[in-house]
Amino acid sequence: MMERVSGICADALDRSDRMPWSALLALATAAFVTILTEALPAGVLSQIAASLRVSESLAGQFVTFYALGCVVATIPLAQAVRRYRQRSVILVAIAGFAIVNAATALSDSYPLTLIARFLAGAISGLLWAQVAGQASRISPAHLRGRAISIAMLGIPAALSFGIPAGTLISLSIGWRATFGIMSGVSLLLIGWVVFAVPDLPRDESVKHSPICKVIGIAGFRSVLGAMVCFVLAHNVLYTYIAPFVAPSGLASNVDVVLLLFGAAALVGMFATGALIDRFLRGLTLASITLFFVATVALTIWSTHPTVVYFATVVWGLAFGGAPALYQTASAHVSGDDADVAQSIVVTTWNAAIAAAGILGGLMLDYLGVAAFAWPLAGLLFLAFVAVFRARKRGFPG
């Protein structure tokens, strides 16, 4: 009898040490759909503009309204769903994507489509605020950083393969059909999440802190500060990559440059996932340093195509693990308030993306693309200092 009990206990312990791969990959697919929904319009602006009979600049507001919805709604929605089970919230968010993408595919009204894009952004903020926490809760305690990295795998996968493939499909069968396909994928994903992701109850004994108190948690502002500087630098460069690589003669090969970036980001994500639970601090400092080196190289040797390609790979490696690094640091430092902290991280991340578009435009107009490196290097230096100083809380050694 004792042997049987011991065997059961040992088996339970073994299961507790296993990564829930199917569940984590389902969450990664949700992240993939989110990024694809957000960024696909950038690749098919001409098609959208012609279909809705508007200018390309107005079609570009598809991305703006999505980001605006995310910034405005993430924190309020995260606060409103605190008492509900995380899997239920994730399922509602995925169902929301199915609806808004279907509405985008079917709508002939530009204002109505903008509303659908705003709602898509709001839903994405709700989803992002839950994914890291759910990945952490369903995984072994000593592998939570790796679990978050796997759940974040959808980001580089969408950037490297999803968006180019989505653009190609849109050019073949139309952008509306592509959004319809994404809606269908969301419906299938609902079944996967129900089957694979454990439905864990909320811990009713946990008393969540208000937002202002979470922001004041020791180390959390260091995480936010470093993240904002990094995301600003990345998105300025990513948004204006075409003029940035033009001096090397690669303006017509931007798709190749971005493909290299995405593939390298995927490698960076895998490497981060393997090491993040032991080397969070070192990986974050290395990520910032690699991005700094790539930015300087892209400027000093901007006329050399080989250097541009090589620096793009280094930049991709630096960025690939960044979402997981900052999400994991936030989850560690915030403890029981991780859900609230994640909503703040998501809102801040998207606000930085929006600010990067404005900042990059001003830099391009008043400084010229040749001077991009130095403001970006300054942002990365501030990010490095913020991480380096947060040795006790935020990014502990």
Let me know: does 328 contact 349? Beta carbons within 8 Å.
Answer: no
Structural domains of the chain sorted by starting position, each given as residue range(s) with its CATH number in brackets: 19-199 (1.20.1250.20), 206-397 (1.20.1250.20)
Q: Give Rg (Cα) of the chain.
A: 21
How far, CA to CA in Å, does 315 sit from each of 263, 293, 318, 354? 11, 8, 5, 20
Measured between alpha carbons, how far is residue 316 from residues 164, 268, 348, 354 in Å?
Answer: 16, 7, 22, 21
Alpha-carbon distances, residue 300 vs 101, 103, 295, 360, 384 (angstroms): 43, 47, 9, 19, 21
Please check whether residue 324 is in contact with residue 152, taking contact to mean a CB–CB distance below 8 angstroms. Answer: yes
Q: What is the DSSP letter of 369?
A: G
- Are 20 and 139 contacting, i.e. CB atoms less than 8 angstroms apart? yes
Q: Write down the pLDDT at residue 4.
A: 41
As a whole number of angstroms, the distance between CA 120 and CA 38 comes to 8
* Low-confidence spans in the chain with pLDDT less than 50: 1-15
Q: How far is CA 247 from the centre of its chain?
A: 30
- Residue 179 has a pLDDT of 94
359 Cβ neighbours under 8 A, 6+ residues apart? 232, 236
- Would you say 40 and 170 are in contact if contact means Cβ atoms under 8 Å apart? yes
Task: For the chain, give percent helix, strand, coil, nearest 5.
Answer: 85, 0, 15
Euclidean distance between CA atoms 393 and 280, whole angstroms: 12
